[in-house]
Amino acid sequence: MISRRGFLKYGASALATSGLITTTSGKIFAAAGSGSKDTRWAFLIDTHKCTGCGLCVKACKLENEVPMEANATRTWVERYVIKHDGEVVADSPHAGIDGYTRNDPQGREIPESDIAKSYFVPKLCNQCEKPACVQVCPVGATYQTADGVVLVDRTWCIGCGYCIMACPYGARFFHPVFRVAEKCNWCYHRITKGMDTACVEACSFGARMVGNIMDPNDPLTKIIKTERVSLLKEEYGTSPMAYYIGLDTLVR
């Protein structure tokens, strides 16, 4: 039999633990738009606007020198087709690099009358505040910068692959040329020069946006602070920094 004191004590600590997830991402949210001198990069994806053209994936591969023909990519676009009977047909052939030009999810033609809803979801590295991939690196080859971007030191990586397994989002892969772990770094060479990432540059529909969440005048900060946004796999406690608009519950 648990005492009243014990119940309150353990109950409070259990509540605090379950609250950890919200407090860590809440910390950034609280500081967002504070005009802090520290930069914190964040990403915003509006799934309503994505047409599934795949030009972001193409631009990313060219910009970041990931071989076109290799089945490996820093960003990708997923297609979800949900039928009236509840069946979900989702795919991302070649990361969607050639665009979605046919109604053939997983090679099946789904008649228009059967489709309840359908949409595209662009994905990329979330540059988590608490990156699981960094924590498992045994040699210090992958790390978080002061402005929140997770980078990989190609000269230091031993290619053990722990980080690829640790990422809950499947954002990491093995670079076929450099033979080290590779990941999206939100075009660190571009954003640090005040440019947009290559995928944002290539998106015609404004489905992607990158910005400094600490800057109150950044359009990205304004949207995140005022509109309804969500994150992927928040329950993992990694505090992802890629915000989504219009995310369906079955997108993980």
Partner 1 sequence: MKNHVYRPLFLVIAFVVAVLIAREIVVPEDFGTHEAGYMYGWHRKGNEQEWKDFKVKYQGKDYCKLCHQDKVDKISQTPHVIINCENCHGPAVKMARVDGKIHWKNPTYTKHGEDTFENHIDRTREQCLRCHAKLPYKGSGREWVRGINNTEHNPDMECVMCHNPHSPGFG
Binding residue for partner 1 (CB under 8 A) from 74, 123, 183, 190?
190
Binding residue for partner 1 (CB under 8 A) from 73, 75, 127, 142?
142
Binding of residue 172 to partner 1 (CB under 8 A):
no
What character string, x for contact with partner 1 (CB under 8 A) and - otherwise, covers 30-49? ------------------xx
Q: Rounded to an integer, what distance in angstroms lies between the CA atom of residue 94 and that of residue 167?
A: 20
Nearer to partner 1 by Cβ, of 97 and 232: the residue is 97
User: Least CB distance from residue 205 to partner 1, whole Å?
Assistant: 5
Binding of residue 100 to partner 1 (CB under 8 A):
yes
Region 110-129 residues binding partner 1, contact defined as CB under 8 A: 112, 115, 117-120
Q: Which of 158, 151, 139, 138 is nearest to 182 (CA)?
A: 151
Structure tokens at 72: 């490996």
Nearer to partner 1 by Cβ, of 44 and 137: the residue is 137
Q: Rounded to an integer, what distance in angstroms lies between the CA atom of residue 120 and that of residue 45?
A: 11
Interacting residues of 26 by C-beta distance below 8 A, sequence separation 6+: none
User: Least CB distance from residue 90 to partner 1, whole Å?
Assistant: 12
Binding residue for partner 1 (CB under 8 A) from 24, 63, 93, 168?
63
Nearer to partner 1 by Cβ, of 3 and 101: the residue is 101
Binding of residue 160 to partner 1 (CB under 8 A):
no
Binding site for partner 1 (CB under 8 A): 48-55, 58-59, 62-65, 81, 98-103, 112, 115, 117-120, 130-131, 134-135, 137, 140-146, 151, 153, 155-156, 185, 188-190, 192-193, 195-196, 198, 201-202, 204-207
